[in-house]
Structure 1
Amino acid sequence: MIDRPLFLSAVALIVIGIVFSYSLSAYTVLLFNTPPYHFLARQLVAGIGGIVLMWLIARMPPERTGRLGLAIFVISALLMVAIPFLPESIAREVGGAKRWIRLGFVSLAPVEFFKVGFVYFLAWSFSRKVIPKNAQNMAAARHTLKGEVRLLLPYAIFFAAFMLVIAIFQNDLGQVMVLGTTLLIMAIFAGSSMRIFGLAMLLGLVAVAAFVVTSPHRIERVKGWWYMLQIRLAELFPQWAAKVPKVNLAEEPYQVSNSLHAIHHGGLFGTGLGNGILKLGFLSEVHTDFVLAGMAEEIGVAGVAAVVVLLGFVILRLLRIAGRIETGEEATQGNIYYLFCVGLASVIGFSFLINALGISGVIPLKGIAVPFLSYGGSQVLALSVGVGMALSMSKKAKFQ
């Protein structure tokens, strides 16, 4: 039986995202001289399309989701590799990087679909290569560190190749962090040891540091983050903060600063839907990357907390499906379903955390969408497909 609570909660998040795509884009439509309902109409079409796709895929037999998942992975991977070489009329360059493919009135971001396909590919491959055939359950998997490294090395090389495409050609380190963490979590759930977790975290930190120091705009983002952090530390711990190395900037990073102002201005219950002030030219990309800050101003911390609980409920339902699916050495399909639901939950959870911690100044800012809530048809459609696949797989879960 399809997990209806998961379906209804995902639909609720899509509807909330549609509402705020209109409320928060009031200034943007004036700035770009577009019709008042431009962003609402596009998000509404994507939202309805996503809900329909989710329902149709949910009704598919679970066995058929395999072809869909692998097809999404192959097609999106080919598109990501091809984007840098496509003409400007098809692949528009924004901010020095090509991330979207434009076909008439439709713009697609292949990386959003790649995340869903990548999760399915890992689930499919891990169920055959990483989960030991002689173990009675996945938790029983035990390897030497050398054996685990040899087993996971092909995945690391493959991941590194595609992450170079995303981080360098698409200038999108945030997606690299989401996918890298998801790969690591799925490897652990497939039976890898915590030694691999520690080694991978160390290598990941080195790689992220390398990407930062070789990119001037990323260095500036880190400087802006440290500048805001040192101010907060000075307010809370003045004596201790005096010993911390200082970064002096000509002006305060306006994005995070205005994001914090929006959250503070909204207070507990907000200024009311449509009554936000910081969205009127002070907070850039408020309907996309800073949607949580815009929501906090209009519906308050309490309203955003309710939405976060709803998003957390989606993640918990995915993990519940994973936990109720029969797995083991004879249950290859069950292992695939188990790992896919864990991976999809990881993508949603880490995307939200990176965005939320970035706009609040806890970590350096990364331009990554909030699942279901940020404006953007590609991420809504891709996640809807992913949740639809999980709903189909939920038919194999034993809830009683």
Structure 2
Amino acid sequence: MLKKIIRCYDYKFIAALVVLCLIGLVMVYSASMVTAISRYGVAGDYFYQKQKLALIAGFFFFCVTAFIPYKIYQDKKILKILLVAVIALLALVLVFGHTAGNATSWLVLGPIRIQPLELTKLTIIVYLAAVFTNKQEYINDLKRSIIPPIVIVLFICFLIAMQPDYGGILLILGIVAAIVLCSGISRKSMIKIALLGVIGVIVMLFVLLVTGHIDTVFSPVRLARFTGFLHPFRDQQGDGYQLVNSYLSIGTGGLQGQGLGQGIQKAGYLPESHTDFIMAVIAEELGFWGVLLVLGLLFFIILQGLKIARRCNDPFGALLAIGISVMIGIQAFVNLGAVTGILPITGVTLPFVSFGGSSLTLLMLAMGVLTNISMFTNYEKKYRNQVPKQNKLKSI
């Protein structure tokens, strides 16, 4: 039995994930060593060591979730615990949170920094996948199937807006939209949900206005992140500074790059070079081929995740795989869009590559869940008469 299970794991998927994480670890060291010494007054390998520990912890969680049957997350008690924990953490952030990058998004517990948003994204994916799977018989009855979970999600988004973290809200809404679209609902219901979403955003803005938080959320400093990307060269030393230096990094790299560790922009010119703008450092040091390798690995992971969802006969597993894959895809798109000036700078990191302990650990945990879904799908395909077949979602 154990040998059969081991044979059913997708080792190409796991290998691509490991290679991408190792590239990220090397690039975090290269991108952060000058910043660590000059800005933070710590050892040059400070961020590298923290990222290495996060990767080790993430790999541990990956192994655990890769072996635990994913259907356990469909249990109502586990879902309630996850939702209560997420809401409690987001509320604690608003009271005791640490401010960084114009947003109060962190809980600091001694040497440990936790970003509840990362757990929130994964929790919402599990929650919506379970709810929509359980309500397949009346999925087009919006009052019973769609509206209740969406109200909970909007409340969570409101808590995140109070930090504020626009990038996080954008990611969550994108994930929710993908899961809803793949839940089996009709087109007529989709239009109604879109209208409800617009109404929800209006209500959230109204609440912020009434509570007096509208000026805090939409302060000039934060709005500059959205306006600076439109005309970065008009204010190269102000709102457009980060994007202009990102362009310089990308343009300097060319095809071959300047060589690993030989980049100039990371030496105090490009802010957040080891987090939000690590792809610019990769472009400068490893050139076009380095960027192509990273994007290829990311695309392979996302595509494999969607293939897993397509092959999965279990509606819960399919929606779970879709949510995780879309989460990575949207996060990568938003990050790359900011680096290249296509989208505003929102502080979203590049999955598996950028520095960030909470992000890397939770992403690896999510990859373990996705690997487990793939394993069960492959097991069913190879040993079909040993696993009961279930109905797939109509829209997947």
TM-score, normalized by length of structure 2? 0.83
| 8 Å Cα contact 2:102/2:222 also seen in 1 | no
Q: State the distance in 1 between where 2:14 and 2:90 align.
A: 29
Q: State the distance in 1 between where 2:376 and 2:125 align.
A: 19
| 8 Å Cα contact 1:65/1:389 also seen in 2 | no
Corresponding residue of 1:113: 119
Give the alignment of 1:174-193 within 5 angstroms. 174-193=167-186
Closer, same or farther: CA 372–192 of 1 in aligned 2, 3 Å: same
Residue deviations 1:295-352 (CA, integer Å, cap 9, x gap)? 11111122111111101111111111111111xxxxxxx1111100000001000001
Letter in 2 for 1:377: G
1:203 shift after superposition: 6.7
Quick one: which of 275, 281, 287 aligns to 2:274?
287
| 8 Å Cα contact 1:42/1:377 also seen in 2 | yes
Is 2:83 the partner of 1:48? no
Closer, same or farther: CA 389–220 of 1 in aligned 2, 3 Å: same
Residue deviations 1:69-92 (CA, integer Å, cap 9, x gap)? 735444233211222123xxxx32
Residue deviations 1:156-180 (CA, integer Å, cap 9, x gap)? 3212211111122x21011101110
Q: State the distance in 1 between where 2:247 and 2:94 align.
A: 36
Residue deviations 1:342-394 (CA, integer Å, cap 9, x gap)? 00001000001011111111121111111111101101110111111111222
1:251 shift after superposition: 4.7
Quick one: which of 211, 215, 220 aligns to 2:218?
215
Secondary structure at 1:2 match in 2 = coil
Q: State the distance in 1 between where 2:93 and 2:295 align.
A: 34
Corresponding residue of 1:162: 156
Q: State the distance in 2 between where 1:128 and 1:343 align.
A: 16
Q: State the distance in 2 between where 1:290 and 1:258 align.
A: 10
Q: 219-228 or 372-381, which moves further after superposition?
A: 219-228
Give the alignment of 1:300-311 within 5 angstroms. 300-311=287-298
Secondary structure at 2:113 match in 1 = strand
Residue deviations 1:179-231 (CA, integer Å, cap 9, x gap)? 10110110110112445555656776784996999602343223212223xx7
Q: State the distance in 1 between where 2:70 and 2:269 align.
A: 47
Corresponding residue of 1:244: none
Closer, same or farther: CA 77–13 of 1 in aligned 2, 3 Å: farther
Quick one: which of 311, 324, 345 aligns to 1:365?
345
Letter in 2 for 1:185: A
Identity of aligned residues (%): 29
Letter in 2 for 1:58: A
TM-score, normalized by length of structure 1? 0.82
Closer, same or farther: CA 53–249 of 1 in aligned 2, 3 Å: closer
Quick one: which of 106, 109, 112 aligns to 1:100?
106
Is 2:16 the partner of 1:9? yes
Give the alignment of 1:1-400 within 5 angstroms. 1-30=8-37, 31-66=39-74, 70=79, 71-86=81-96, 91-129=97-135, 131-132=136-137, 143=140, 147-148=141-142, 151-168=145-162, 170-195=163-188, 197=190, 207=201, 215-216=218-219, 217-228=221-232, 251=238, 253-326=240-313, 334-398=314-378
Residue deviations 1:115-148 (CA, integer Å, cap 9, x gap)? 111101110111012x236xxxxxxx7x4xxx44
Structure 2: state its 5+ residue gaps: 1-7, 209-213, 383-396
Closer, same or farther: CA 266–248 of 1 in aligned 2, 3 Å: closer
Structure 1: state its 5+ residue gaps: 134-140, 232-246, 327-333
Q: State the distance in 1 between where 2:73 and 2:176 align.
A: 20
Secondary structure at 2:164 match in 1 = coil
Q: State the distance in 1 between where 2:332 and 2:194 align.
A: 20
Kindly report the root-mean-square deviation, in angstroms, between the aligned alpha carbons of the 2 structures: 2.7
| 8 Å Cα contact 1:73/1:113 also seen in 2 | no
Letter in 2 for 1:347: M
Secondary structure at 1:345 match in 2 = helix
Letter in 1 for 2:333: L
Secondary structure at 1:392 match in 2 = helix
Secondary structure at 1:107 match in 2 = strand
Closer, same or farther: CA 81–198 of 1 in aligned 2, 3 Å: same
Q: State the distance in 1 between where 2:57 and 2:35 align.
A: 24
Number of matched residues? 359
Corresponding residue of 2:387: none
Q: 5-14 or 66-75, which moves further after superposition?
A: 66-75
1:248 shift after superposition: 8.0
Q: 24-33 or 205-214, which moves further after superposition?
A: 205-214
Closer, same or farther: CA 367–199 of 1 in aligned 2, 3 Å: farther
